[in-house]
């Protein structure tokens, strides 16, 4: 076994620690983790092969992952189609808050008409995707109280999609954040240039009185929210889907993603 392979295994061991801690805290054992990992290996292998433009079949996926071909076949035949409603709901909120077609003169999200195919809300959804039905998106937003519906019109109540009471969607968002975070840290570790491509920092104090936590929580929420709004406004000026300036759409070059994330964690409070 090469030194690099041994190093990668040690890295994997560190990455798995929070996953195993999650499993143990929710009575999920090793066998269940292995079963789920097998499914994820197959799903991600399919995505990677498709991204590379290679043919996807059971034999190729098996060779790529080390998962038995019969197991690969069973997983691929019984795979559930992913629910994309949450993803589009998140994008709808962002488009609604930033696209000038759906904001007032002060830059605030307008109350949009509902109803027929030419309604303003339908236009908002179609500006992002023609594959998702506006009614499904509206139901997802309404279920998490992100909108208020009255008299054939819909008003945006929340600036973000918060899947309270929907653990699968919530942890799906966590998984996407973790993937972005791991990619950012990996770029920093293996990047040989200067300056580093991504910011990675943490502020940690471990002797704070518990009674001060509510005050700290409120302060952190306010500061993080304000800064995220600044980041959102800044990045939206470059996004071709939001800006009406078609000159930007004519620029050559690959279309790229920029992600900024932050979090706070008050360890004196219960994680349940």
| 238-256 pLDDT tens trace | 888 776 555 555 566 788 9
- The helix (run of H) or strand (run of E) holding residue 47 is helix 30-51
CA distance 236 to 243: 7
Whether 48 has a pLDDT exceeding 90, the answer reads: yes
Split at pLDDT 50, 70, 90, the class of 77 is very high
Whether 159 has a pLDDT exceeding 90, the answer reads: no
Looking at the chain, the whole-number percentage of residues with pLDDT higher than 90 is: 58
Hunting for tokens 């392979």 — which residue is that? 5
- For the chain, give every domain's residue range: 19-78, 85-156, 167-201, 211-272
pTM score above 0.85: no
Split at pLDDT 50, 70, 90, the class of 72 is very high
Torsion angle defined by CA atoms of residues 237, 240, 246 and 251, in that order, rounded to the nearest 10 degrees: 100
Q: Taking residues 22-38, what's their average pLDDT?
A: 95
- The helix (run of H) or strand (run of E) holding residue 76 is helix 69-78
Average pLDDT over the chain, rounded to whole?
88
CA distance 137 to 91: 10
CA distance 44 to 52: 12
Hunting for tokens 């993803």 — which residue is that? 87
pLDDT for residue 160: 79
pLDDT for residue 249: 55
pLDDT for residue 36: 95
Whether 197 has a pLDDT exceeding 70, the answer reads: yes
DSSP string, 97-141: HH-GGGB-TTSPBPPEE-SSTTSHHHHHHHTT-SSS-HHHHHHHH
Which segment of 52-56, 86-90, 95-99 scores lowest on mean pLDDT?
86-90
Which segment of 10-24, 216-230, 251-265 scores lowest on mean pLDDT?
251-265
Which segment of 30-44, 80-94, 140-154 scores lowest on mean pLDDT?
80-94
Higher pLDDT, 71 or 237: 71
pLDDT for residue 269: 58
Which segment of 24-38, 94-108, 162-176 scores lowest on mean pLDDT?
162-176
Whether 30 has a pLDDT exceeding 90, the answer reads: yes
pLDDT for residue 272: 46
CA distance 40 to 60: 16
């Amino acid at each position: 076994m090469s030194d690099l392979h041994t190093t990668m295994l040690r890295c994997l061991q560190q990455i798995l620690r929070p996953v195993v801690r999650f499993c143990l805290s929710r009575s999920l054992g090793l066998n269940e983790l292995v079963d789920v990992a097998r499914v994820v290996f197959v799903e991600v292998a399919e995505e990677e092969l498709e991204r590379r433009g290679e043919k996807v079949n059971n034999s190729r996926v098996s060779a790529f992952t080390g998962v038995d071909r019969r197991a690969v076949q069973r997983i691929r035949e019984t795979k559930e189609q992913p629910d994309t409603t949450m993803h589009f709901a998140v994008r709808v909120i962002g488009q609604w808050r930033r696209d000038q077609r759906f904001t007032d003169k002060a830059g605030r999200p307008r109350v949009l008409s509902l109803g027929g195919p030419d309604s303003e809300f339908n236009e908002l959804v179609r500006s992002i995707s023609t594959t998702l039905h506006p009614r499904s998106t509206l139901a997802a937003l309404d279920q998490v109280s992100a909108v208020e519906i009255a008299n054939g019109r819909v008003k945006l109540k929340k600036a973000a999609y918060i899947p309270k009471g929907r653990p699968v969607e919530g942890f799906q968002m966590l998984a996407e954040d973790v993937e972005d975070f791991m990619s950012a840290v990996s770029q920093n570790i293996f990047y040989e240039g200067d300056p580093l491509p991504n910011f990675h920092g943490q502020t940690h104090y471990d002797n704070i009185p518990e009674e001060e936590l509510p005050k700290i929580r409120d302060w952190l929420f306010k500061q993080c929210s304000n800064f995220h709004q600044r980041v959102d406004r800044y990045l939206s000026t470059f996004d071709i889907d939001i800006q009406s300036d078609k000159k930007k759409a004519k620029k050559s070059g690959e279309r790229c993603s920029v992600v900024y994330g932050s979090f706070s964690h008050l360890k004196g409070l219960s994680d349940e």
